[in-house]
Amino acid sequence: METNEISKQSRGGTELMLESLHARLNPDLLHKFQIIASRVRTLDPARKRILWLHDKPCREESSFLEQAANRTLFAGIVCVSHYQALLYHLIPGVPYGEMRVLQNAITPFGPYLPRRAQRIRLIYHSAPNRGLEILVPVFEYLATIHPDIELDVFSSFRLYGWVERDEPYRSLFARCVAHPRIHFHGAQSNDRVRLALSECDIFAYPCIEPETSCVAAIEAMAAGCLMVCPSYGALPETTANFAHLYPFSEDRPIHARRFSAALDDSIRTIRLRRAEDDSSRAQQVEYFNTFYSWDRRAEEWKQYLYHLV
C-alpha cells in the first residue's frame, strides 16, 4: 500500500486528517502529489512528494531526515504545530526553511449553546495510553465529593486497528464499567464522539504523552467543552490559552494530584457558570471553529501546493 493511501482499518486523527484533506482538494491538483503521512515506505517517482509529519521524531522513522540528500526527495515537509517543527529542527536537524507548519483542522461545530443539564458531564476521548490511568482513580475520588459529575470514556486501540494493545488496559476498562457514574463506550465513530462532545462540559485529559497536536482537544473546545490538561507538548499551543492548564510532572502521583486539583476547580467553575452567561466559552467556540476549520486549512494547503507546482 502506498503511504499516502488512507488506512481502511485505522480511524485515528492522522487518518481523519488525510481523508478530510483528500476530500477538499481539487483532484487534478492532488494527483500531482504523493502526500505521505508520517511514515515513509514507498516513494512515487511520478509525483512530487510531501512528507506530512504527525508524530514525534524517532530513530526508526525520522533519522533519515538527518541527511540533506534524503530531504531532497521531498518537495515539502509539513508539520502540524510549531512545537513539532522545533522537535524536528533540534533532533534530526531539519532546517526551518525546509518545513512549513499547517496545523490540523476539523469540521466546525455549531454556535455555543450553554449547557443546562443538572449533572456535570466529563469526557475522555483518546487512546488509553494518554492518561486514562490517571483520570479513572482521580474521577473515582472526585465522585465522592461531587455527586453531580459523570464521565463518558471513548477509548480503545480498536480505533487504530490494534485490538491486542487494549490488553494491558482491560482492568482499567473494567473499573470504568463497574463505576455507576462512568459510561464506558470503547471505540466509536467520530460522529458519535462529536455528538457526545456537544453535550459534555469538560474534556478531562491528564495527558502523559507529548502531543504534536491534538485533534481531540480541538474538537472538544470547538464543541464548547472546558479542557483540563497539562502544559505539555503542543497542548498549550493547540489550546491557545483557553484550556485550564496545570504544570506537567513525570512523577505520576504528583501529576495525579495536580490534575485532581485542576479538575476539581473546573467542576466548581462549571457549576457556577450554570447561573450566568459565559461569554468566554462562546469566544472559545468561535475561535476554534474559525481557526481550525477545514475551509481555512484547505485553502492554506491549496496555496501551498500550487506554490510547489
Nearest of 107, 287, 271, 115 to residue 200 by alpha carbon: 115
| Per-residue pLDDT reduced to its tens digit, 128-154 | 999 999 999 999 999 999 999 999 999
CA dist 246 to 175, 176, 212, Å?
A: 26, 25, 18
Q: Distance between CA atoms of 285 and 282, rounded to whole angstroms?
A: 5
Q: What is the CATH number of domain 120-289?
A: 3.40.50.2000
Half-sphere exposure of 277 (CA within 13 A, CB side): 3
- Report the predicted TM-score, pTM, of the whole model to 2 decimal places: 0.93
Low-confidence ranges of the chain (pLDDT < 50): 1-8
Is residue 106 within 8 Å of residue 214, measured between CB atoms?
Answer: no
Give the cell for residue 41. Answer: 515506505
Give the cell for residue 78. Answer: 509539513
Residue at grid coordinates 499516502: 4
pLDDT value, residue 275: 58
pLDDT value, residue 1: 29
Residue at grid coordinates 499551543: 237
Q: Distance between CA atoms of 57 and 66, rounded to whole angstroms?
A: 11
pLDDT value, residue 85: 98
pLDDT value, residue 277: 55
Is residue 74 within 8 Å of residue 96, measured between CB atoms?
Answer: no
Average pLDDT, the chain: 93
Is residue 44 within 8 Å of residue 79, measured between CB atoms?
Answer: no
pLDDT value, residue 116: 78
Residue at grid coordinates 466546525: 108
Q: Distance between CA atoms of 187 and 203, rounded to whole angstroms?
A: 17
Nearest of 194, 242, 195, 201 to residue 219 by alpha carbon: 194
